[in-house]
Amino acid sequence: MNLVEVFVEENCAACKAVVEMLEQSSLGFPLVKRIYHREADQEEFQSRGITILPATFINRTLAFYGEFSGDDFDRQLRRLDRKS
């Protein structure tokens, strides 16, 4: 099972786009998705040193800063899945 964590904030168009894209993408890989919001999850932001949003981690490894395509996500997921 792959863990996908996305760090977002309100009024961030790229954050919204990433979350929406992730709802539609996974290549059939089983995913656990966690969304962290800057206001509600300040401790998690601080402990991970997150300053650029959106920030997307796959299996606790930084995969992307900013917006990315579904194809990019699928490629990165396949690559990281092979390493585990």
pLDDT of residue 30: 77
Total domains, the chain? 1
Sign of CA dihedral 41, 46, 51, 57: negative
Domain limits at 22? 2-67
- The answer to whether position 37 is within a domain reads yes
60-73 pLDDT per residue, tens: 999 999 999 988 99
- The answer to whether position 45 is within a domain reads yes
26-82 pLDDT per residue, tens: 556 778 899 999 999 999 999 999 999 999 999 999 999 999 998 899 888 888 766
Instruction: pLDDT band for 25, please (50, 70, 90 cuts).
Output: low
